Structure 1
Amino acid sequence: MKFRERKDDISPFFLGFFEKRKRKELGYSLENVSKDLFMSKGNLSEMENGIRMMKKDVFNRFLRQYDIQFDTELNCFFEMKEILAQIVDCFLRFDDRKQEKVREHFEAMEGSWKNTYGCFVGELIQYFIQVVMDHQKSDDLFRSLVLIENCLSNDEKALLYMVRGMEGRWNIRLGNMETFFEKALEFVDKKELFGLEALIEYYQIVEWMRSGSSFEVYEHCVQVRKKFYASHNYIRALYLDNLEAVGITCLRAYSSAYARFEALLSNMEYVDDPYLRFCVVQNAILVLCVMKKYREALELMEKEKATFSCGLSNFIFAPYCFYMLNEGENVRRTLKEIKPYVKDESDRLVLKMVEYALEKNCDAFFESARRLLAFDQKYRNQENIELTYQFMIHFCKEMGMVQKRIEIQEAYIAFLTNG
C-alpha cells in the first residue's frame, strides 16, 4: 500500500489546527498571535478550531513571524503518512512480522511527532494500533480524531471510521457498527491507501454476517473477491471464501457450506497461514456435528491435530461426538485430555453437559444447557445453538423424558423458524 499527496493538497483546516498546537507549544496566547497576524481574536479562534479555513498566506505569515522551519515539519508529516501506509498494508495482507517491525519503528519515535505537522496522522496510527492490533477500546482517541477530521485526507477519514466499526466487536456500547463502515465508504477515494475500499467492504461483510446473512451478501462477496485478486491479495481472498462459507451456514445450507470448507482446505495446501486453516477446520467440524456426521468430524479432528497450536475450539466437540456415538470410554478419555486447556466459558459448559450426561445428572445437565443457550444466543452462534438443542433432545430420549423432549423439540422448531 502506497500513499501520494502533493504539498498543495494539504488541507487548509489542517493549517489552523497545526498553528494552534504550535502556538501552545511556544507558549503564546491567542490574543498575542492574533495581533501579530493582524486579525481578530475571534477569527483566529475559528481557524484554530476548524470552523473557518486558514488561508495559506495567513499560515505563512505565522511561520515567518515565529521563525518556524516548516520543511522539517513537512518531512515528519510525510514520514507519518509512510508509516500509516505500511502498517495498513501489512494488516491488509496479514503480514504480522512486518507489521510488528513498523509498529516498533513508530513506537521508537517516543511521540516525537506530537508537536509536528505529522501529529494528526500519528494519532490515527496510535488509534489503529490500539484497536486493530491490541483489541482495546479507545473512545477518547476516536473523539479527538473526529474533532480534527478535516485535517485528514479522505482515505485517512475512511480508515478512521473503518477502525471505529471494527472496535465495535469488543466495545458493545457502540451499537450498530454498519453505520461506521458506510461512512468509511463515503470518504474513501483510493488516492492514498490503495486496497482500502476492499478492506472496508470486507469488514462490512463481516458485520452483515454477524447480524444475519442474506443472499445479497454473496453477490457482494464476489465483487470484493475480484478486488482482492486484482491487487494480488490472495490470502485476504481466501479469508473471504471462509467468510462466505460461514454465511451459507447461517442459511442452514450445511451440505453446501461443508463442500465450500472442503474446497477451501484443498486450496490452502499451498498457503502458509496456520490461523486461517484453524478457522476453516473449526467451521467444518462444527458443520459436520450439526449434520450429525460425528465420525467424520472426529476423523477431521485427528487429521488436523496441528491446528491445536492455534486454539482448543477444533477439539472441544470430541467428547460430544463420542457421546453421540455411545463410546463412553472415549468420552472419558477425551474429557480428561481436553479439560486442562479449557479457558472459554462456553467451551467449559459444553464439556459440563457431556459430563452430566454421562452421570445422568438431569438437573445439572439442563442448567448447563440453559446457560450455554443464553451465551450463544447473545453472540448469535447459530450452529452452537442447534447442537445444544440436538444434545438436549438426544439426552431426553436416552432418559425417557417424553414431556421434556416435546417441550425442547417445540423450542427447537421455534428457533429454526424464527432464529
Structure 2
Amino acid sequence: MKTSQYFLPVLKDAPSEASTASHRWMLQSGMIQSTVSGIYTWLPLGLRVLKKIKTIIRQEQNAIGAIEMLAPTLQPATLWQESGRYDDYGLEMLRVNDRHKRLLVYGPTAEEVFVDVVRRCIQSYKAFPLNLYNIQWKFRDEVRPRFGVMRGREFLMKDGYSFDLTPQASKETYCKVFRSYMRAFYRMGLSVIPLRANTGPIGGDFSHEFHVVAKTGESALYYDSVLENRTPPRFEISDFEEVYAMVDEKHLPEQCRVPAEQLKIARGIEVGHIFHFGDKYSSSMNAQVSSKNGEVVNLQMGSYGIGVSRLVGAIIEAFHDEAGPQWPLSISPFSLGIIHIQENLESKAEDLYCKVKDLGIETLWEDRPLSPGEKFALMDMLGLPFQAILSEKNQKNSQIEVKVRKTGERYCFSLDKFLEWLHLNCSEQISLPETIKT
C-alpha cells in the first residue's frame, strides 16, 4: 500500500484527552477516531490490527472444535429476566424500547441468547459436547469511559459458550479453552499471566482471568514466576486448585501458597476471562436434554471471553517506546515500511515495493514528498516491525538499510540478500511449544 493512496489521518501532536500510551498512539497514528465519549470509529490502520487478532482467535477456537455463529447485539429483556440476571448489571446495561414497547437490551454478554438457541434447537444427547462462539460488538455504559479502547463503552468481544452433559465433561472443555487462549496470546507475542478470579455477575463455581503484564496495568498481580515464560506446563483439571490457584490483587501474604523466592509482583491488564458455572443458566432457563440412559439433565456450561478491541490497547501498553508502538509481527498492520530519503530514488523505491509485494509481504511505502525526518517519525509512530531505508549513500554500495523497530538494530543488505532475509523473517510462523499444544 502506498501512503498517498491510503487513508491515514495521523495527528501532528498528542491528543490532550489521551492519558495512556495506547490511547495516545491509537489516536495519533490514525488507528481510531473518537465519535462520542467511550465510542470509537476504527479507521483502516486500526481495523487491520483488529482483523489479525480476530484471525488468531478464530484459528485457535476452531482448532479445539468450537463453532462460530453470530448473536444479535440487541437482545430481548425477557431472556435476561428469565435467567435472573436482568438487574445484576444495573446502569451499565443499556435498555431501550422499540416501537412496539418491547424492552430490549444492548447485550454486554450473550449467555442467555446462546442458551435460548441451544434449548430451542437441540433435544438429543448426541449433539453434545457443543462449543459455540461469536465475535460481536458489546456495550456497557461505563460511568467514566477512559484509557481509550481499554475502558470504552462499546467494545469488540469474542465470547464463547460450552454445553456438556456432565460436570466432568464440562471441566474438560474448560481446560481445552484455557489452553487455546494461552496459545492465542502466545501467538500475539504476549506474556500473559492466568489468575484465579471472582465470578462476579456472570456467576459460577470458578473462573480465570488472563492478564497482560504492563507497567500501566490497572491491577496488581501476585503470581508464581514459573508463569513468566509464557509457556506454562500442560495441566489437567485437578491443577486448577493447586498449580494455577494464583493469588490476585487481594493478595494475603499469610495465605499465599507461592514460595517467597518465586513470588512476583507486577501490574496487569485483563484481556480475557473464562467461567465455569455448571447449570446456573440451563436450570433457570430449562435447557435440558435426555441423557443416553433416558435421564433428563440440565446442560453443564462454561463461558469464555476475550476483549478483542481491548487487546489492541493492551498490546501497545506492553510494547511501545517514546516514538510509538512496537507491533509484534503476527498482528502488525503491515510487516514492512519503505522509506526513500531523496526524491530521485523514487523509482528504485517503487521497484523494491513491487518486489516485496510479489513475495506476499504486507508493505507500506511512504511515497509522499515529505522530509526525511517526517518519514522516519511516521514509520516509528506506526510501529511496523521492519523498515527498509533507501538513501544515496547506501545505494552507491547497492545496498538497502534495514531497521528493526523493536530493537533499533540496523543492517545493510544487497537487494537479493534483503529479499531473502525479509522472506525468512516475515514468513516465519511462531512455533508453539509442546507444552501448550492441544
Q: Same fold (TM over 0.5)?
A: no
Q: Which has the higher contact order (CA 8 A, sep 6+)?
A: 2
> Normalising TM by the smaller chain, what interval?
under 0.3
- What TM-score, normalized to structure 1? 0.24
- What TM-score, normalized to structure 2? 0.23
Report the structure, 1 or 2, having the larger strand content. 2
Larger of the two Rg values belongs to structure: 1
